[in-house]
Amino acid sequence: MNRLWAPWRSKFVSGKKKKQCIFCIKKNRDKETYIVKKSKFSFAMLNIYPYNNGHVMACPYRHIKDLKGLSDKELLDIMKLVQDMQRLLEKKLRPHGFNIGINTGAAAGAGYKDHVHIHIVPRWNGDTNFMPVTSGTKVLPQSLRKLYELLTC
């Protein structure tokens, strides 16, 4: 079994959460909030506490806690956005694979449990190494700002 360790996320997971939902976006703040792409019913943004380089999240605009609350149009829209993000990340970062998934509920590891979001995490052969295990440090080869510029140019 391979494991993708992300111990640097513990600060986020165990830290106090802001009351405001990070997925209920404000207009005209795309660059500040690292929004990579918008579609009719959903948008994709960089995760500022990434599991790996290029970690993107796709979310509906509506504040809905899980997939059961989405309409057919929203479901189709968000899944097409996930496809677009996978294609974009393949083109720009050339990963060897992806982890794509949803954590529903705090018990399942959802950091923001009240607004459903789909994680799209690029993976490379050998992208887990001794650094996270021995020192709690993850080596990310790009800054968030550089990654954002790469994905939105």
Task: Give the interface with Zn ion as residue ranges (CB under 5 A).
Answer: 21, 23-24, 63, 115
**Cβ 19 to Zn ion, closest distance in Å?**
11
Task: Tell me the closest approach of the beta carbon of residue 111 to Zn ion, in angstroms.
Answer: 12
Look up 119 and say whether it is catalytic. Answer: no
Nearer to Zn ion, 33 or 86 (CB): 33
Q: 132 — phi, psi (to 5°)?
A: -65, -30
At its nearest, how many Å lie between Zn ion and the CB of residue 24? 4
Q: Which of 55, 115, 117, 119 is catalytic?
A: 117
Give the C-alpha separation, 134 to 11, whole Å.
17
Smaller CB separation from Zn ion, 40 or 87? 40
120 contacts: CB under 8 Å, gap ≥ 6: 44, 55, 56, 57, 58, 82, 85, 86, 89, 98, 100
Q: Give the residue with the Cβ less far from Zn ion, 21 or 48.
A: 21
**What are the beta bridge partners of residue 122?**
98
C-beta closer to Zn ion: residue 63 or 146: 63
Residues acting as catalytic residues: 117
